Amino acid sequence: MTAPDPVRAARALNGGAAAVLVLEAIVVLFVPRGIAQTGPGLTGFRLTFLLTLAVLLILAAGVQRRPRGLIIGTVLQVPLVLTGLFNSVLWLIGGIFALLWLYLLQLRRDMLGSILPPSSPGASSEPPPGPQEDQPHQ
């Protein structure tokens, strides 16, 4: 099933993806409080990793309008799940967010017919004719 208005559906899905990334960033910013009270505590590496990840998630939310925004958001799901190395509860939280992201990708495929947006508006799937196609065969 495809959406009756693909442009509008794409904008809505991009907004949903941006919202999920912002929620992920907020959750990542709450993580240092929990890590500080367990195990080896909050080390400099862990704090730097989490703050960098939160900033990258917010920046990725800002570029969801662009074709590469969806790819960046998808790539950032890997370090989000890997925060589970810091605390075992984070495996669950990262996994839930990754599943939510996969659900958004599935919705995008169902509504727009493709997970990835076209590289440029109005791009054709056929390659442009080459120099040999312009000349008649002799």
pLDDT of residue 124: 46
The C-alpha atoms of residue 63 and residue 37 are separated, in whole angstroms, by 35
pLDDT of residue 55: 97
What pLDDT digit, counting tens, does each position of 10-47 carry? 888 889 999 999 999 999 999 888 888 877 878 889 89
pLDDT of residue 118: 63
Amino acid in position 79: P
All structural domains of the chain with their residue ranges: 6-113
Mean pLDDT of the chain: 83
pLDDT of residue 39: 75
pLDDT of residue 3: 67
pLDDT of residue 125: 47
Amino acid in position 55: V
Task: List the one residue out of 93, 100, 80 whose CA is nearest residue 19.
Answer: 100
